[in-house]
Amino acid sequence: MPLYIPSPPTSGFHIGPAFIHVYGLMYVVGITLAILITQRRWKAVGGDPGLVGDVALWAVPAGIVGGRIYFDLTTPQYIPHHWYGVFAVWDGGLGIWGGIALATVVGAWRVRRHGASVTLFMDAVAPALLVAQAVGRIGNYFNKELFGGPTTLPWGLEIPVAYRPAGYAGFSTFHPTFLYELIFNLALAAFLVWLGHHRSIKPPGLFALYVTGYSAFRIFEEALRVDPSEHFLGLRLNMYVAAVLTIVGIVWFWRSQRRRPAPARPDGQGPAAGGTGTAQAVPGGSTKVSAGPAGPATGPAEPGTGATGATAGDRT
């Protein structure tokens, strides 16, 4: 039995004349799971599950555009050499930072347009994004990319010579950093769900922790990766981005928990019935209501109205 993880012999499969890239298929699976998970969590706080589909309809394309823009700006050496190269997601890749950023902005616009609570929706979607990202990393395995430096550990990934970076042709097994991220993403998603059920986290606290946790892990991951990347002062550009976003996430979480409780209702119209009490909805859990000066608050929060796909080559 080999003491390493073998690389897949192919990056996809044929259905008739069509060749299906596993990378693209994993993005479709990840987006589908993210929608289903978010619908369940949004419904649990009284929101309309139909809003999730509307947000996805706009946020997914935005994520593709944002991810491609980030990829083109940070890894220009991977842009295909033809006039449409900057747009060719099927020949290039997507950058997670740009994808999440633009998808968040567009998604928030759709949520606000429906009159729902943006911060509460962000907390509902945070674990779902991590699940989608984890599934997407399976596609990187089939593409033989996003691996780290050489290693002799039993879980080292065997990389064919043609896929090894310059200077590493003499090594055969490498750190499977995509696998490390897959495991971490699922663990962080489970932690956020647990935290939402067992602690009173003011929205968008869970989303802020998603930004903090994922970015902090990327600092570790970028320190291992050996694929070509833009560098500044000897460090990979993505390491600087991850460090800045880790600090932003920490400050964002701290500030969100210090302010007064946000509206509990998904429709963003204010506290739950009772008027003078405060209430807080926990995505995936129940609505917590506390009494105010004028008497007890009554009832749960009222129902309100109620993310990227690509083919091969994600290198960020």
pLDDT tens-place string over residues 29-80: 999 999 999 999 999 999 999 999 999 999 999 998 998 888 887 777 777 7
Supply the angle between the helices 22-44 and 118-143 in degrees, to the nearest 10: 160
Is 41 among the domain residues?
Answer: yes
The number of folded domains in the chain is 1
Is 188 among the domain residues?
Answer: yes
Is 219 among the domain residues?
Answer: yes
Dist CA 97 CA 140 (whole Å): 17
Dist CA 27 CA 183 (whole Å): 17
Q: Which has the closest alpha carbon to 212: 265, 156, 255? A: 255
Is 149 among the domain residues?
Answer: yes
Q: What is the DSSP string of 133-176?
A: HHHHHHHHHHHT-S-BSB--STTPEE--GGGSPTT-TT--EE--
- CA 47, 48, 50, 51: dihedral to nearest 10 degrees? -50
Is 138 among the domain residues?
Answer: yes
In this predicted model, which residue has the larger pLDDT, 194 or 315?
A: 194
| Residue 39 exposure: Cα atoms within 13 Å on the Cβ side | 13
Q: What is the pTM of this model?
A: 0.82
Q: Which has the closest alpha carbon to 205: 120, 267, 291? A: 120
Residue with tokens 């968008």, as numbered in its chain: 204
Amino acid at 91: D
Is 259 among the domain residues?
Answer: yes
| CB count in 10 Å sphere of residue 6 | 10
Tell me whether strands 278-281 and 235-236 are parallel, antiparallel or unpaired.
unpaired
Dist CA 264 CA 232 (whole Å): 44
| CB count in 10 Å sphere of residue 134 | 22
Domain range for 182 is 21-266
Per the DSSP assignment, residues forming a β-bridge with 128 are: none
pLDDT, tens digit, 9 for 90 and up, residues 242-283: 999 999 999 999 999 997 765 557 776 655 444 334 444 455
pLDDT, tens digit, 9 for 90 and up, residues 274-312: 433 444 445 544 444 333 444 444 444 433 443 433 334
Mean pLDDT score of the chain: 83
Is 5 among the domain residues?
Answer: no
Is 240 among the domain residues?
Answer: yes
Instruction: Give 83's DSSP letter.
Output: T
Q: Are 301 and 266 in contact (CB under 8 A)?
A: yes
Environment class of 86 (CB within 10 Å of its CB; exposed 0-12, middle 13-18, buried 19+):
middle
pLDDT, tens digit, 9 for 90 and up, residues 122-142: 999 999 999 999 999 999 999
